[in-house]
Structure 1
Amino acid sequence: MKSSNPFFNNKTFSPTSRVYGAQEDVNVITHNETMTVKGTINKSMFLFAILVTSALLSGYLMLFEGVHPYALLLGGGITGFVIALIATFKPNYSGVLAPAYSLFEGLFIGGISIILELRYPGVALKAAGGTLVTFMVCFLLYRFGIVKVTEQFRSVVMASVLAIGTYYLLSWIVSFFTGSYFVGHSFEDSSLMSIGISVFIIVVASLNLFLNFDMIEQGAQRRLPKHMEWYSAMGLMIAVVWLYLEFLKLFAKISGRD
């Protein structure tokens, strides 16, 4: 019952979490105090709208108001990270924290998208399209039971995410001392090996979505508290942002080879 998304590895998703009427249909809201799949999907759509609107606002501020891109990158990225960290320990405040996360993370991805779009025209639209198509395909595959989340599937994805996180962490540490990143980490690295690493990470990020869908469904079946809809929707936004950034990196690398 663990997801490779650390946001879902919260004790509120544990098997001992409180259960409300688990025999009821979880696809409709039948209890005002319990988490449902439908409620989580609705909140996810709301958070996604905030994320996109904030990203567009970020682009406007940079292009027409002269706001420095790094102010948006650092301000949005750091604030979004802190909010996600707080929500991990205080999920009952997710109703406020989740919209705030989408707002600030939208500023971050909007800023980095504009920077790369000016350098490699078209990459932002390609990344957005790749993310949307991948998300929908994964959702449909899970919804119709074509892909099932088993313990072996979960273990492989978790191990892969842990390996990627370790690789990125070591690359950041090395960059502080040498000024250069490991192969595959930098947007400027357009080697075939670097592109291959990005493709692998995108595959893992996509597989991670299945684990997130499963956690949401399991949480609804156990009738977790209503605020977990916001918490779960926020977890999905984190996964979507990761997937988008990896697509953005991939298309920037490919454009760099032209």
Structure 2
Amino acid sequence: MQSNNPILSRVEVRADYSHPMSVEGAVQKSVMLTIIAALVGVAFYIYCAMTGAYGIANAGLLVGAIGSFVVAMIATFKTNLAPSLAVPYALLEGVFLGGISLFFEMRYPGIASQALLATFASALTMFALYRFGIIKATAKFKAVVISASIAILAVFVVQWIMTLAFGSSIPGLFESSWLGIGFAVFVAIIASLNLILDFDLIENGAANGAPKSFEWVCAIALLATLVWMYISFLRLIGLLNND
């Protein structure tokens, strides 16, 4: 069992037939974490927008991004701590979402609701494709999605280094050009396909008697994927709205 989601890539699942995880349990926890992140994100967004606290929004964005990454990594290597870390992870993701949404919304009014709708529609589509067996998480499918995800991560790391070290950017990829928009579309598609792997992970975990605590790991994974999808759609819609 594995997912291309970084918080699951090194998780070792040990069967626990006395207290095994279930698909229903993982889904319920995923919904709960998503609701928490959404509520915190909306509250943080409204507070910063109404008070003009853009410095706090920027700080929240950074703290949320770094903090959620650190918490996710701890949950990866210490899966027994996932039940305790899940809610803090959702809170941090909520602050991150609220902060980044505010800055995108300031530049492109209405973009947050558009990205949210695109994320919701894509998630439902991926679930339907997986549920009805139209897309199956075969070994080849997993290899392609994982390879593409690693490549995307590498591109963003290079872009980050170039920006910090040289104040420059990878030519074309992060601009409102056909190449930049095409790359943004590709990223959004790969982000959405992550859900197929995560759905498969949940089913395999339940089928193989993964411990109950693994439901929280799966919930964190799904929330991380949804956040990635949302950010990908924010970037894509923003590029499409550039003059």
- The TM-score normalised by the length of structure 1 is 0.89
Closer, same or farther: CA 130–119 of 1 in aligned 2, 3 Å? same
Aligned to 1:52: 38
- 1:26 maps to which residue? none
Contact 1:183–1:193 (8 Å) recurs in 2: no
Q: Percentage identity across aligned positions?
A: 39
1:184 and 1:197 in contact (8 A); partners too: no
| d(CA) in 1 for partners of 2:84, 2:31 | 16
Judge conservation of contact 1:73–1:109 (CA < 8 Å) in 2: yes
Gaps of 5+ in 1: 21-30
The alignment partner of 1:6 has SS state of: coil
> What is the CA-CA distance between 1:66 and the residue it aligns to?
3.8
Taking structure 1 as reference, are residues 231 and 47 closer, same or farther at Cα in structure 2, changes over 3 Å only? same
Are residue 177 (structure 1) and residue 165 (structure 2) matched? yes
Tell me if structure 1 keeps the 8 A contact 2:173–2:179.
no
Is contact 1:43–1:230 with CA below 8 Å preserved after alignment? Answer: yes
> For 1:19-53, what per-residue CA distance to the aligned partner results, in whole angstroms no more than 9, with x for missing partners?
52xxxxxxxxxx6x210000000001100110100
Gapped regions of structure 2 (runs ≥ 5): none
How far did 1:2 drift? Answer: 2.6
Q: For the Cα contact (< 8 Å) 2:2–2:9, is it kept in 1?
A: yes
2:9 alignment partner in structure 1:
9
In 2, the alpha carbon distance for the partners of 1:91 and 1:207 equals 24
Tell me, in whole angstroms, the C-alpha distance in 2 between the residues paired with 1:232 and 1:183.
Answer: 37
Q: Which amino acid aligns with 2:152?
A: I
Equivalent AA in structure 1 for residue 71 of structure 2 = I
Contact 1:76 1:104 in 2 (8 A): yes
Q: 1:63 pairs with 36, 49, 54, which one?
A: 49
Look up the match of 1:81: 69
1:163 and 2:160 matched: no
Contact 2:11–2:76 (CA under 8 A) maintained in structure 1: no
Instruction: Write out per-residue CA displacement over residues 52-80 of structure 1, whole angstroms, 9 at most, x where no aligned residue.
Output: 00111111221223432211111211111
Give the counterpart letter for 1:180 in structure 2: S
| CA deviation profile, 1:156-205 (whole Å, cap 9, x unmatched) | 1111111111111111111122212224664xx21121011000111111
- Does residue 193 of structure 1 match 2:205? no
Separation of aligned partners in 2, 1:48 and 1:227:
18
Q: CA RMSD in A?
A: 1.4
* 1:42 lines up with 2:15 in the alignment: no
In the other structure, the counterpart of 1:256 is 242
**Aligned with 1:133 (options 106, 111, 121):** 121
1:12 Cα deviation after fit: 2.3
SS at 1:72 equivalent: helix
Aligned to 2:103: 115
For residues 84 and 184 of structure 1, the distance between their equivalents in structure 2, rounded to whole angstroms, comes to 32
* Mean Cα deviation higher: 168-177 or 37-46: 168-177
- Does 2:206 correspond to 1:217? no
Which whole-Å CA distance do the structure 2 matches of 1:210 and 1:133 have between them?
14
- Determine which of 123, 137, 141 is the counterpart of 1:149: 137
Which of 91, 96, 121 in structure 2 is aligned with 1:103? 91
Contact 1:123 1:248 in 2 (8 A): yes
TM-score by length of 2: 0.94
Residue from 11, 15, 18 that aligns with 2:15: 18
